Structure 1
């Protein structure tokens, strides 16, 4: 019995720790250091963002993105004319409708699903 009472008393003493006389000054010092660190962090994060933006823009310029878009437009035009020639022969092509609405919807849903998968993978890391 004595041990249980002693343990309870000991737990109460540790739970109600006395305040130290310099606790206010200590808390102010910690807050000052944290605030100073945030300013530095903001500047570092901003500088990293600007550097990343510059690198990304230079990569887009160096990858001939305009030429690739033009090639993609030409490919889409060729594909559209090919589908236009095949469309009268196949009944399932009527699902595409004018402008391939169903294809665009399916593509959009696929991109949305990939986005969900990507966010899930990022959360797991």
Structure 2
């Protein structure tokens, strides 16, 4: 029975650790170190973001972005005219069965799938 009492007393002593006299100073010193580390990390992450943004902007300028945007706007005009033809025709089965309408529908569904995937990636970040 002495062992059970000893174990209970020992467990109580470990559960209620005595406070050391310099506990407050120790905690303040650790908090200062952690805060200083976060400030340095924030500055480093911010600087890396600025450098990455500059590199990305220069790559966009070099890759003929404006010419590609102009090509995309032409494609949008073609898509709009195709959609107006689809609205004008009452027979959907004929439009889907022949010609380029099938390609446009498949392209639209692919764009929609990419938008859903992008939204999911953004939510996880």
More relative contact order in 1 or in 2 (CA 8 Å, sep 6+)?
Answer: 2
Q: CA deviation at 1:39?
A: 1.6
Q: Give the Cα separation in 1 of the matches to 2:28 and 2:84.
A: 74
Alpha-carbon distance change, 82 to 21 in structure 1, aligned in 2, over 3 angstroms: closer
Matched, 1:117 2:117: no
> Where does residue 23 of structure 2 map in the other structure?
23
Superposition misfits of 4+ residues, deviation over 4 angstroms: 82-90, 106-109
Q: Give the Cα separation in 1 of the matches to 2:79 and 2:115.
A: 24
Alpha-carbon distance change, 11 to 112 in structure 1, aligned in 2, over 3 angstroms: farther
**Matched pairs, number:** 112
> Where does residue 2 of structure 2 map in the other structure?
2
> Where does residue 77 of structure 1 map in the other structure?
77
Normalized against structure 1, the TM-score is what? Answer: 0.69
Q: CA deviation at 1:81?
A: 3.6
Q: CA deviation at 1:57?
A: 0.8
Normalized against structure 2, the TM-score is what? Answer: 0.69
Q: CA deviation at 1:91?
A: 2.3
